């Protein structure tokens, strides 16, 4: 029960890494607010873990402010945030519309900014609190055809480092950079890169571990950064990518 007594908001928690994190954190004793644009999905997860489901569009300031206030009121506190909501778009620069660029950055970068800013008054009430931003391996080693996604995730790493400096010592902020994870978003990206394929396995073969990760493996790393086991880590970037050289 490494998170006993904790009250944690997780965005993008209806599926993928966010869902796996919500399920693991609940098992470790935390109260969870399951935030997602997909309210039905969030409600399904919340029912399974006795959490609180809240609809949110992380790209909307009004929606985020309302969702964080709802979550904090329902749980009675917020002492942890996991920014897991994210979207992707695959396309070379000449095939990327400005609207697509803006949409990716609105969710992947503006979203964590809005969530952290809205949660800050709650976090500062806690004796100690944590923020984990889910970046990507693409944020430290770019991928061809992902200018918007890779840029947003690289900026998210530096945003997290700034938070660590500004919010210390009461709030710790760290980033995690997963590699290829078996999620709906990763499968969709793989198909966009190779319409004839239906899985991410060809890219996984380029990793040292020769396989894609499961969401639960990434959730375990997020748990480490949220728990007291990482009590002296802030401003860190934890890469969990199976030994990626390139893809």
Distance CA 141, CA 174 (A): 18
For 122, the 3-state DSSP assignment is helix
CA 24 from chain centre, in angstroms, equals 14
In degrees, to the nearest 5, what angle opens at C-alpha 38 toward C-alphas 70 and 142?
105
Q: Is 195 helix (H, G, I), strand (E, B) or coil?
A: coil
Q: Hey, what are 78's tokens?
A: 């917020």
Phi and psi for 200 in degrees, rounded to 5? -95, 5
Report the alpha-carbon distance of residue 156 to residue 196 in Å, rounded. Answer: 32
Our answer to whether residue 246 is catalytic in this structure is no
Listed in sequence order, the DSSP H helices in the chain are: 16-27, 39-49, 61-75, 98-105, 111-125, 147-167, 184-193, 201-204, 215-226
Active site residues: 149
């Amino acid at each position: 029960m490494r998170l006993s007594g904790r009250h944690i908001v997780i965005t993008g928690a209806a599926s993928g890494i966010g869902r796996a994190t919500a399920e693991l954190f609940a098992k470790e004793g935390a109260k969870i607010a399951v935030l997602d644009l997909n309210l039905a999905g969030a409600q399904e997860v919340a029912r399974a873990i006795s959490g609180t489901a809240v609809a949110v569009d992380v790209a909307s300031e009004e929606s985020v402010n309302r969702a964080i206030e709802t979550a904090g009121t329902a749980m009675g506190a917020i002492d942890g945030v996991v920014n897991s909501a994210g979207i992707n778009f695959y396309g070379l620069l000449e095939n990327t519309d400005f609207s697509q660029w803006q949409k990716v950055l609105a969710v992947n970068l503006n979203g964590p900014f809005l969530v952290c800013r809205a949660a800050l008054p709650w976090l500062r009430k806690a004796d100690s609190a944590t923020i984990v931003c889910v970046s990507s391996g693409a944020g430290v080693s770019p991928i061809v055809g992902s200018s918007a996604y890779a840029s947003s995730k690289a900026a998210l790493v530096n945003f997290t480092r700034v938070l660590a400096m500004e919010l210390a010592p009461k709030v710790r902020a760290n980033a995690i950079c997963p590699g290829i994870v078996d999620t709906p978003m990763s499968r969709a990206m793989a198909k966009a890169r190779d319409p004839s394929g239906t899985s991410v396995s060809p890219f996984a073969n380029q990793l040292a571990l020769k396989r894609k990760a499961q969401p639960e493996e990434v959730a375990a790393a997020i748990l480490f950064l949220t728990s007291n086991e990482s009590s002296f880590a802030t401003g860190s970037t934890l890469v969990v990518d199976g030994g990626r050289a390139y893809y």
